[in-house]
Structure 1
Amino acid sequence: MGKNSQNSQVNIPNQQLPNTGDKGTISDKNDPVKNPIKYPHNKIFYAGYNLGNDSVKLLVESFAPIRTASVVGYLQDENRSLLIPGSVEYQGWRLNNADISWNQTNKNTWLGGDNVLDAELKTLNRVYGNPTGKSEYSLHMFLSALALLEDKNGHRPNWRFKLAVSCHKPGLFSNIHKSLSGLHKVTLNGLSSEIEIEVVKTMPEGLGAAGEITSSKPKLAILDIGGGTTSVSHYQGSRPLLDKPEFYEKSGVLALYRTMLDSKQINGHPQGFTIDDVRIAVEAGMRDIVVNGQKLMEANPNKPGTERVKKGILLGEKTRFDITHIYVECLKNWLQAELKDACRKLAQLQDKGYTVYVIGGGSKLPLLSDQLKKDPYNFNIATNGLYADVEGLLKIAKK
């Protein structure tokens, strides 16, 4: 359960929900007394779960998908509220209902996902850069993602899951399966739950997406641009032609963000920006540039003689530092260097009659899709690229 699993237990606050609706608390609309989830106790929820380096994605049947940062911060020594969305107190585990007592050797409390980045915890544990991070934090991130789902939809005291999981490291499949499986006694956002998980399938990232893409040709190739890794897989219809995709390590979007962070303009900025600040700025897309309270205008190349609002990649919510020129230059270099081998492989497949689709978080990068659609690439951008893998995993879980 992680290197901090032996730390002392944090006392659970009284199960009284604040009704302020402020950030960091559970709002009235999610009060389980006022708005309970009306499902039978024994209902099975099918779900797809993608363990990414940069973010995890959880798609539970009947709910909107959850995507959140792959980072965990332990709360034992932090004296923090367990009502922050994404917080978990782990109280015990048992393999199945035949077990009489709960195994409590792994008691722990943590906060997982995007809210960790605002919590200013002393230590952050990231999946990326940790060779066993995806197995070590697979349960942590699943439970935190579920806590975020409950924050949006209301609390449920019992969950039963049939779960299909994807990860880019087949060597970790067994440990991930063991970590997730069984009955887990927890509190999510300060509310008690018992969660039963049956892992029905663990498979390489990207394979779930094949059934979610409609191609006019029987031969399909998929470029999955993830946070830490990029992969290429190819199919005859939805049948994979390889046991696992070809992975290109350390060529994902985080490599782009790190290059941007190392640029003189960002690295030397007095604000002290982090890689998470860069990620947030890029994922926000092209936004209106405002100077002294006025939107900056520029000539509109599509309609000569008119103007349009100038847009850019803006770093920092307060500074709104325009880093568009840095992003454009780093994007070009990343595409030509880090994605070179994957694109060369895809060009070979195109020569054999394959149609190429791009999925993953990287498929939604500003300006990138326009470049990949044109020569020399001529790729297709999947409309559901961000969640194509978990959508496919959900269907696999239901089989």
Structure 2
Amino acid sequence: MATKCPHCQQSQWGFFYADKKIVHSLVTLIKSSAMIPVCQKHNLHGYKLRRKIMVASYGVTNKSKSVSSVPIQTLLGIDPGNGFVKARADKGDSIILPSLIAYPTEYFEGGVVAKNGCSVLYVSGSRSDLIGKQILIGDIAYSIDPLNCISIAKSPQAKADYALELLLGAVGLLPQCDRVINPVLSVHDSTTFGEQIKQKIEGVHRIQLDGEPLDIEISNTSVTPEGKGTYYYLLKSGKVKKSDLVLLFDLGFGTSIYTVFQEGKILERSIFRWGVRDLYNSICQHPEMRKALNGVEGDSHVVRTAIETKKFIYRTEEGIFDFSKQYTEALISWTKSNLKQAMDKMRPRIPKAAHLFLVGGGGNLPSIGNYFTKKGFEILGNSQFCNAEGLLSIAQARSQQNGNR
């Protein structure tokens, strides 16, 4: 059946405009108090419903939209890591989701629920290259397209290239409302990627979440070196003094970073192009793992989840494969080739340091923490979030300074 758009009278099959009174449920039922035909060009709110009432966009977050129509100013500290995006907002929200991205085909119906993730439809705005694209961020990206989803850890450039997608993923898990966001982000090489990230994210972005259009304006962005947020967190919490020589080792997913701070400045910094991802890949390629999977390498996402939950279980066609032994073997090899390199680099500074800290998700993995505590390192209890917490503190300090001018 052909229909015509009331704005331009263009014939268009099967597309409709739905007003904002949409009831959205997990079983992909949609009802609207008013539906009229509209072409894709004039579908201003991005509500594209096919004749079969297929869901054009579905966010797994269940945050309700604020009743206020006035944009809320939001200060955001965001740590877009290779493994996880971590964020802290000034209203107290904490967000964590895997750094995975996918752009589904037009046949994606939504309704797929993942533990940490959301779906964003980019309707219009400063990023013309994203207009009309649906973006899946987090676990939902892996659930929809496990073979082709984009892992940020695969390229150093990816943190800049997909900076907006990662930020919108974090915004998608906040209570839904129009926002003016002033973010402070961290990146492993802020000198190289700082300006690129600003260009990618700043501007006005109209997106759709859970059937609701939202306007997100991003401005007054600051990009800092990774680890600086953690240092500010340590200063603010009173764990260190500004005069202290502080040695920080961030054991991350794709990279690991050694930084020395004193008097609010970075004295020394080294970036290692390895992380716990290499440990996971080693387990996937282990001969016993390949044997259990009939000659196929293991899925690093499955291995990672099993290790983080300390279950060491991989389901195969033949049943359950317990890879705890393979984890221990791979860990010994990985430690000798990688952690030893880091310790050799840090060794001259260790006797002079007032504090040694291990941060990053790698420190929470079985047996890794023991390796560092025996060498005098303290593992922070909230090691994954302390950088984002400190970045939020920097954003708040910048806001106060701007307000006093």
Separation (CA, whole Å) in 1 of partners of 2:138 and 2:167: 10
Structure 2 letter corresponding to 1:234:
V
The CA RMSD over aligned residues, in Å, is: 3.0
Quick one: structure 1 residues 209 and 339, their matched pair in 2 at CA, closer, same or farther if it must change by over 3 Å?
A: same
- The equivalent position to 1:186 in structure 2, one of 193, 207, 219, is 207
Name the structure 1 match of 2:184: 164
Separation (CA, whole Å) in 2 of partners of 1:231 and 1:31: 35
Unaligned runs of 5+ in 1: 1-9, 95-102, 288-312
SS in 1 for 2:224: strand
Name the structure 1 match of 2:383: 385
Name the structure 2 match of 1:256: 279
Separation (CA, whole Å) in 2 of partners of 1:11 and 1:358: 53
Displacement of 1:40: 7.1
- Is 1:46 equivalent to 2:75 in the alignment? yes
Quick one: structure 1 residues 219 and 264, their matched pair in 2 at CA, closer, same or farther if it must change by over 3 Å?
A: same
Structure 2 letter corresponding to 1:394:
L
Q: Which has the higher contact order (CA 8 A, sep 6+)?
A: 1
SS in 1 for 2:371: helix
Structure 2 letter corresponding to 1:72:
I
Quick one: structure 1 residues 237 and 75, their matched pair in 2 at CA, closer, same or farther if it must change by over 3 Å?
A: same
How many pairs does the alignment contain?
341
**CA-to-partner distance for each residue in 1:99-125, whole Å, 9 max, x for gaps?**
xxxx74531212111111122366322
Task: Tell me which structure has the larger Cα radius of gyration.
Answer: 2
Name the structure 1 match of 2:230: 209
- Is 1:16 equivalent to 2:37 in the alignment? no
Question: Structure 1 vs Structure 2: percent identity of aligned residues?
Answer: 22
**Counterpart contact for 1:76–1:110, Cα < 8 Å:** no
Displacement of 1:191: 2.4
**Counterpart contact for 1:225–1:359, Cα < 8 Å:** yes
The 5 A counterparts of 1:262-301 are 262-270=285-293, 273-285=298-310, 287=311
Separation (CA, whole Å) in 2 of partners of 1:236 and 1:210: 10
The 5 A counterparts of 1:112-127 are 112-120=137-145, 123-127=148-152
Structure 2 letter corresponding to 1:325:
K
Separation (CA, whole Å) in 1 of partners of 2:15 and 2:276: 39
**Counterpart contact for 1:37–1:155, Cα < 8 Å:** yes
Displacement of 1:166: 0.5
Separation (CA, whole Å) in 2 of partners of 1:248 and 1:354: 23
**Counterpart contact for 1:91–1:104, Cα < 8 Å:** no
Separation (CA, whole Å) in 2 of partners of 1:390 and 1:282: 24
Moved over 6 A (4+): 10-13, 24-27
Name the structure 2 match of 1:236: 262
Quick one: structure 1 residues 162 and 126, their matched pair in 2 at CA, closer, same or farther if it must change by over 3 Å?
A: same
**CA-to-partner distance for each residue in 1:179-226, whole Å, 9 max, x for gaps?**
111110111243211101124310111111012221478111000011
Structure 2 letter corresponding to 1:175:
Q
**Counterpart contact for 2:246–2:354, Cα < 8 Å:** yes
Separation (CA, whole Å) in 1 of partners of 2:62 and 2:332: 44
**CA-to-partner distance for each residue in 1:267-316, whole Å, 9 max, x for gaps?**
2323863110111111112x4xxxxxxxxxxxxxxxxxxxxxxxxx2234
SS in 2 for 1:203: strand
Separation (CA, whole Å) in 1 of partners of 2:356 and 2:267: 15
Unaligned runs of 5+ in 2: 1-13, 30-56, 398-405
- The equivalent position to 1:67 in structure 2, one of 89, 96, 105, is 96
**Counterpart contact for 1:346–1:356, Cα < 8 Å:** no
